[in-house]
Structure 1
Amino acid sequence: MSFIVLGPIAEDGIKVPKCSFRVPAGFPSPAADHIEKHISLDEILNIRAPHVYLISIAGDSMLGAGIFDGDLAIVDRALEAGHNDVVVALLNNEPVCKRLCKRGAQMILLSENPKYPPRYILEGDELAIWGVITNSVRRHV
């Protein structure tokens, strides 16, 4: 799975209405009667420029983590990547999106799709963790 960097997020976002109810996946409710306040998506997604970037995901290796081909992922470069985090990395100068697994001194990049084997980081490999994925956004149309 690879990615395309779309760039940093602007600090000032547009405010959109937030309704005070959860939407059932059945018949719609008149939302205008339930507007609680106006919020911005950058507040919901905890986006703080300049260390937060959007990337476009390509591939199907992270399906089990809920990250699909074409999704937008929010990457925080200020977070230190830890065991089990989903990261954006450069492995031998190739961009990847994988789950980071640390077993002692051994680092492994795991796919969340059984079609793809684990990638053990070996001596001579160059691994640079670019950031931790904190959220993803999927378009449904």
Structure 2
Amino acid sequence: MIAHKSNSLIFFLPEAIEGAGTNFFDTGISAGFPSPAEDFKEQRLSLDDELVKNKEATFYAKVSGQSMIGAGLDDNDLLVIDRSLEPANNKIAVCFLDGEFTVKRLRVSNGEVWLQPENPNYPIIKITEDNNFVIWGIVTNVIKKVY
């Protein structure tokens, strides 16, 4: 369910489904040489249980744009955002800035706040008292498509 849409992000509310989950084999998948698996332990895995720590304060949003590619956030990636977490220096945050949502790395120093993109083609933004600015939530995870 779409909760809000802006030019740079589309927000979704997490929808918990009782008993939902996907088969999960807790064996560890080798990215090197294959190893023979002795026992396959099949369990059920819910991504909401793994990625969402505070259901009431968590939202999903799709990234639109390239300003955070250096942090591994690519166009159309799905962000998991927790609004209950405290903003801090170096955290990646979803911010509401002058009427638009944006995702940037927080830089806090000497009482000043900067929004730093992770792409040299985008400018660092200094937040001043003239800005309409709210730190909306902290990005905790990113879900990528790998096709």
Q: Which TM bucket (shorter chain)?
A: 0.7 to 0.9
What is the number of equivalent residue pairs in this alignment? Answer: 141
* TM-score between both structures, scaled by the size of structure 2: 0.83
Aligned sequence identity (%)? 36
Higher relative contact order (CA 8 A, sep 6+): 1
Cα 1:65–1:13 change in 2 (3 A) is farther
Separation of aligned partners in 2, 1:10 and 1:50: 11
SS in 1 for 2:10: strand
Question: Corresponding residue for 2:114?
Answer: 108
Verify the 8 A CA contact 1:13 1:41 in the aligned structure 2. Answer: no
Question: Corresponding residue for 1:140?
Answer: 146
**Residue 6 (1) aligns with residue 9 (2):** no
Cα 1:12–1:65 change in 2 (3 A) is farther
Question: Corresponding residue for 1:92?
Answer: 98
* Aligned residue type for 1:45: L
User: Deviation digits for residues 6-28 of structure 1, max 9, x if unmatched?
Assistant: 22342746122221222234788
Verify the 8 A CA contact 1:13 1:42 in the aligned structure 2. Answer: no
The alpha-carbon deviation at position 50 of structure 1 amounts to: 1.8
Separation of aligned partners in 2, 1:23 and 1:75: 27
Question: Corresponding residue for 2:54?
Answer: 48
* TM-score between both structures, scaled by the size of structure 1: 0.87
5+ residue gaps in structure 2?
A: 1-6
The alpha-carbon deviation at position 73 of structure 1 amounts to: 0.2
SS in 2 for 1:135: strand
Question: Corresponding residue for 1:60?
Answer: 66
Question: Corresponding residue for 1:80?
Answer: 86
SS in 2 for 1:42: helix
Cα 1:87–1:13 change in 2 (3 A) is farther
SS in 2 for 1:43: helix
Separation of aligned partners in 1, 2:54 and 2:135: 19
* Aligned residue type for 1:124: D
5+ residue gaps in structure 1?
A: none
User: Deviation digits for residues 37-61 of structure 1, max 9, x if unmatched?
Assistant: 2221112213432210010110011
User: Deviation digits for residues 96-132 of structure 1, max 9, x if unmatched?
Assistant: 0000110121100000111112101123111111100
